[in-house]
């Protein structure tokens, strides 16, 4: 039997990344195609210019098709933005004393999502957090057990229906269909977290260009999610304003000279830059640059800490923070995160993949690769549709109805 193919489309504020991979031996990813394109028309996770966004997405897809040899018809697509919100809910179903089967689990999850969701919101994920059968709680896998009454506790993630539809239309205009939207930190979490971290209690902090995405895992499952409307592009903007630089130059300065902790920078360190309206370079203290960066990054982690406390799970995260996304590449950021939040922190990056991995081994691509891992984990038997036609290209199509039938942790 031919090994299945999966496709992930990560649409961010700073970049768009399309990945094509073959699933080998049921769980291993072999990267076949990579398409990375600067993002246009996307601001803080939402579409700001439909035509520009669609063109950027199309160019990314085309690059991935060219390197992989596959024609892409659909993909799992990342989702972010401050319009994303979450809530907790419970669903109850009667069993009548028989053996619980998968349909009962579906019914319970359907019951949990039968909440009053406004017409302008769309449910993206319904995440099971645990089951209770006839008063016995803490059950993770109820299938095969006997009971009369089953309850499920679920975490429901919704998004602006308008924002989701605009993104869906952009992808459609680029020539492919959305199989499923996946919230950024959930995709990243599948790639960068260990099973022990999920079980102990951990928070994924995905530091994107326009947003910072948070997901809290406890007892192996997602218990809380949120999206903060600030990201690493705000650091770049602060540098541009503070040092009077074009944004493009400010980004280069951040990448080459940036650091997150002021106290670790010597007084005499400096570098040369060219300001607006000048042809001559001037010397800038690296401490001045770091002072600008530290202020904004400290604010980001103060917001993260506030959100963790607001969740009520701040005392349940012994595994601390796992930082990922392009913003986590800033030197010194791990130390600053711990100083602000009081939690241990490490950097999470994509691993356990082979093939064309040189470009995507950075934390900046954790969500991109995580989308591929998500597809594997959500499949009941890894039977993703893989159809072939044409003489020179294989035609790939992950069918939406099969995605909808996947059951593992989520029911979209």
Block residue for tokens 């669609």: 54
Q: What is the pTM for the complete model shown?
A: 0.87
Q: Which domain holds residue 114?
A: 85-158
- The residues, any chain, with a CB within 8 Å of residue 182's CB and separated by 6 or more, are 76, 77, 78, 79, 125, 370, 371, 374
Strands across the sheet containing 353-355: 177-183, 74-79, 5-11, 15-24, 28-38, 353-355
Residue 17, judged by CB atoms within 10 A of its CB (0-12, 13-18, 19+), counts as buried
Residue 205 in any domain: the answer is no
Q: Is the residue at 334 inside a domain?
A: no
Segment 346-380, tens digit of pLDDT? 999 998 899 989 989 999 999 999 999 998 876 64
For residue 311, pLDDT beyond 50: yes
Residue 209 domain-assigned?
A: no
Residue 357's Cβ-count burial label (10 Å; 0-12, 13-18, 19+) is: middle
Q: Indicate whether 178 belongs to any domain.
A: no
HEC string of the chain equals: CCCCEEEEEEECCCEEEEEEEEEECCCEEEEEEEEEEECCCEECCEECCHHHHHHHHHHHHHHHHHHHCEEECEEEEEECCCCCEEEEEEEEEECCCCECCHHHHHHHHHHHCCCCCCCCEEEEEEEEEEEEECCEEEECCCCCCECCEEEEEEEEEEEEHHHHHHHHHHHHHCCCEEEEEEEHHHHHHHHHCCHHHHHHCEEEEEECCCCEEEEEEECCEEEEEEEECCCHHHHHHHHHHHHCCCHHHHHHHHHHHCCCCHHHCCCCCEEEEECCCCCCEEEEEHHHHHHHHHHHHHHHHHHHHHHHHHHCCCCCCCCCEEEECHHHHCCCHHHHHHHHHCCCEEECCCCCEEECCHHHCCHHHHHHHHHHHHHHHHCCCCCCCCCCCCCCCEEECCCHHHHHHCCCCECC
CB 220 within 8 A of CB 141: no
pLDDT band of residue 276 (cuts 50, 70, 90) is low
Tell me if 268 is assigned to some domain: yes
Q: Examine residue 99 and state whether it is found in any structural domain, yes or no.
A: yes
pLDDT, tens only, 191-237: 999 999 999 999 999 999 999 999 999 998 899 999 999 999 999 99
pLDDT value at residue 378: 67
Does a structural domain hold residue 142?
yes
Structural domain ending residue among the three candidates 271, 293, 315: 293
Give the pLDDT mean for 63-92. Answer: 94
CATH code of the domain containing 273: 3.30.420.40
Identify whether 224 is part of a domain: no
How many domains does the chain fold into? 2
Contact 30, 21 (CB under 8 A): yes
Residue after which a domain boundary falls, among 119, 138, 158: 158
Look up the CATH number of the domain holding residue 143: 3.30.1490.110
Q: Which of 293, 321, 339 marks a domain boundary?
A: 293
pLDDT at residue 397 is higher than 80 = no
- What is the average pLDDT across 271-290? 85
Q: What is the pLDDT of residues 132-189, one digit of tens each?
A: 999 998 898 899 999 999 999 999 999 999 999 999 999 999 999 999 999 999 999 9
- Write down the residue that tokens 């040899």 correspond to: 69
pLDDT (average), residues 73-100: 92
* pLDDT of res. 281: 83
Per-residue pLDDT, 411: 43
Say how far apart CA 346 and CA 322 lie, in whole Å. 5
Q: What is the mean pLDDT of residues 92-114?
A: 90
């Amino acid at each position: 039997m031919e090994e299945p193919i999966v496709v992930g489309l990560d649409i961010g504020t700073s970049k768009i990344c399309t990945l094509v991979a073959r699933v080998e031996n049921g769980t291993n990813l072999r990267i076949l195609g990579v398409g990375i394109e600067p993002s246009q028309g996307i601001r803080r996770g939402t579409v700001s210019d439909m035509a520009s966004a669609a063109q950027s997405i199309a160019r990314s897809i085309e690059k991935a098709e060219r390197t992989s040899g596959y024609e892409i018809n659909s993909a799992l697509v990342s989702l972010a933005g401050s319009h994303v919100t979450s809530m907790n809910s419970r669903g109850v179903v009667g069993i009548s004393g028989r053996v619980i089967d998968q349909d009962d689990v579906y019914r319970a999850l359907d019951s949990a999502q039968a909440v009053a969701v406004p017409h302008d919101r769309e449910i993206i994920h319904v995440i099971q957090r645990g089951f209770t059968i006839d008063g016995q709680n803490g059950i993770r896998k109820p299938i095969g057990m006997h009971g009369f009454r089953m309850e499920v506790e679920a975490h429901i993630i919704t998004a602006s229906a308008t924002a989701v539809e605009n993104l869906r239309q952009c992808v459609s205009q680029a020539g492919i269909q959305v199989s499923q939207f996946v919230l950024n930190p959930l995709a990243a979490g599948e790639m960068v977290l260990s099973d022990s971290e999920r079980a102990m209690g951990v928070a994924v902090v995905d530091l994107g260009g326009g947003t910072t995405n948070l997901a809290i895992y406890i007892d192996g499952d997602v218990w809380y999610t949120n999206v903060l409307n600030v990201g690493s592009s705000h650091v770049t903007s602060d540098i541009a304003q503070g040092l009077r630089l074009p944004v493009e130059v400010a980004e280069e300065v951040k990448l080459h000279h940036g650091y997150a902790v002021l106290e670790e920078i010597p007084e005499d360190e400096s570098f040369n830059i060219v300001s607006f309206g000048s042809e001559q370079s001037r010397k800038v203290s690296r401490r001045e640059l770091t002072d600008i960066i530290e202020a904004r990054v400290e604010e980001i982690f103060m917001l993260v800490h506030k959100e963790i406390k607001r969740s009520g799970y701040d005392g349940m995260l012994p595994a601390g923070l796992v930082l990922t996304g392009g913003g986590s590449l800033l030197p010194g950021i791990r130390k600053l995160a711990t100083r602000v939040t009081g939690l241990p922190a490490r950097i999470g990056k994509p691993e356990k993949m082979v093939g064309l991995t040189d470009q995507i081994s950075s934390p900046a691509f954790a969500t991109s690769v995580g989308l591929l891992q998500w597809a594997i984990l959500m499949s009941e038997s890894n039977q993703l549709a893989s159809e072939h036609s044409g003489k020179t290209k294989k035609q790939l199509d992950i069918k939406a109805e099969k995605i909808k039938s996947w059951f593992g942790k989520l029911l979209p």
